[in-house]
Amino acid sequence: MKTAVFGATGYTGRVLMRLLLDHPFVDRVIPVSRSAAGETVHGRDPGLFNQYPNRFTKDGKFLSREDILGAEPDAIFSALPPGDSANYCGPFFKKSVIIDLSADFRLENPKTHESVYGQEAPFPRLRSQAVYGLAEIYREQLTKADIVAVPGCYPTCVLLPLIPLIRRNLI
């Protein structure tokens, strides 16, 4: 599987690349950065590059989004900030599975998104297609998802212990 990581120079992006490079089904990782396109992964994270020297595309350089428009990765992981993530992923909807770590697709209702996050909801028509990425609850839906809205750490740690109690009518 060929994957791309948007926001690959940030902490979350670097950790995500390491996890993907350790995954047995991932052949290549395309590191994408708005600020470091053209720079080498080795220059930013020598340990990561030295551990996986042949697993990056384009000579181990960070690429821009425009550089990969024809590459059509199987999956794109976006570690960009909310408000930027969905728009940056825009050209890849329907071409790659989008796994969004920001809050851009977590809430289906655009008005709720606007009231919670204080910004206009990106791609309102695509929101209903996003599957909330809590695998313990939505495992079956995630296998067919084109857009995965990765839940934040607080909702995850609250929902995982509560959902079994709710299902058993204990609360």
DSSP one-letter code for 150: P
Q: What is the pTM of this model?
A: 0.91
89 is a catalytic site residue: no
pLDDT digits (tens, 9 = 90+) for 49-83: 888 888 887 688 999 999 999 888 999 999 999 98
CATH superfamily of 2-167: NAD(P)-binding Rossmann-like Domain (3.40.50.720)
| Alpha-helical runs (H) found in the chain | 11-22, 41-44, 46-51, 85-89, 110-117, 135-142, 153-167
Q: Alpha-carbon distance 52 to 49, whole Å?
A: 5
pLDDT digits (tens, 9 = 90+) for 1-35: 999 999 999 999 999 999 999 999 999 999 999 99
Q: Alpha-carbon distance 149 to 144, whole Å?
A: 13
pLDDT digits (tens, 9 = 90+) for 99-133: 999 999 999 999 999 999 999 999 988 999 999 99
- What are the Cα distances from residue 168, in Å, to 153, 160, 163? 24, 14, 9
CB 51 within 8 A of CB 25: no
Q: Give the three-state DSSP class for 148.
A: strand
Catalytic residue among 153, 169, 170, 171: 153
What is the domain partition of the chain in residue ranges?
A: 2-167
Query: Going by C-beta distance under 8 Å and a sequence separation of 6 or more, which residues neighbour residue 26?
Result: 1, 2, 3, 20, 55
